[in-house]
Chain A
Amino acid sequence: MIARWLAVIACVALQGIAMGAAAQGQTQAPTQTQTQAADPALEAREIRLAGQLRCVVCQNQTVAESNAPLAADMRRVIRTQLQAGRTDQQVVDFFEQRYGAFVHYSPPFKASTWLLWIGPFALAIIGLTLLLAVLRRRMAHVEATPLTEAQRARARQLLDEESNP
């Protein structure tokens, strides 16, 4: 298990290093497209989309934040697709088809995710209800036990002692 983890981590790290080394061959294409994306509206959409998608290599980062080679590839694909006239939804669908629903940085509300969305609130409500029920029962319990005759006499005696020393 640990060996497999290490292998995957090493591989991702190596990919980064190798891509740095091989960058000459790979960055020529994007520099060409970068100059084409002079349209500010298109660029704004690209940035917004990249912020909504998860980098599947470094999973707690969005595609916009990540420096992983895969995230760079994804940004490039977002750009070319927007330039080709695709809608935002089509671009998101493109990535969902390939990487699954996990690629949404904020998971959509649907049959397989509703528990994730509602779960914490449901748990909080259940907990609060239980707490209230227990407290109420305890209070009712306290009220429902009047003093016995002997206790009453003893209390009266103590109070008398207090007022007439």
Chain B
Amino acid sequence: MSVVGLLFLLMGAMAVGSALLVVTTARLVHSALWLVVTLGALAGCYLLLGAEFVAWVQILIYVGAVVVLLLFALMLTRAPTGVQTGLTTGNRVVAAATAGVVGLVLVTVVVAGFGGARVSVDEESVGSATSMGDAIFRHWVLPFEVLSVLLLAALVGAIVLSRGRASSGEETP
């Protein structure tokens, strides 16, 4: 087995194991921490696939920003750090059965997807920042600009929901 294969096995096992822990752990804060491991392992997978830019953005945005925000939210909602009961709903069995079927179908679909056609991942990468930037600002420029509008809308909305009484300037929270 190649080096890439070994690395993939490592990353894949880490990703699946930590994802299962995100879903099942009885401590809320641990969920967020295990999510970091999953996201990091996925960044590794992106590197193996040659998507250099996406891998670093994954680390920056997801691990750096999203998970930190999630931890803040857990803190603000006073999530207890200890073991808790009653975190899962009663329909465990049904959910597990549904998820099992969906997973089986998806795995079959992606394995059968190309009828055994194989593309090696051991070659040179294409996803450098240069090529990505070139594609984004030429071909994908409209959706990219719309994304900036999306970020602004999210920002405005979040401020509306959470801003205290500092609005007219005479009082601060």
Tell me if chain B binds chain A.
no
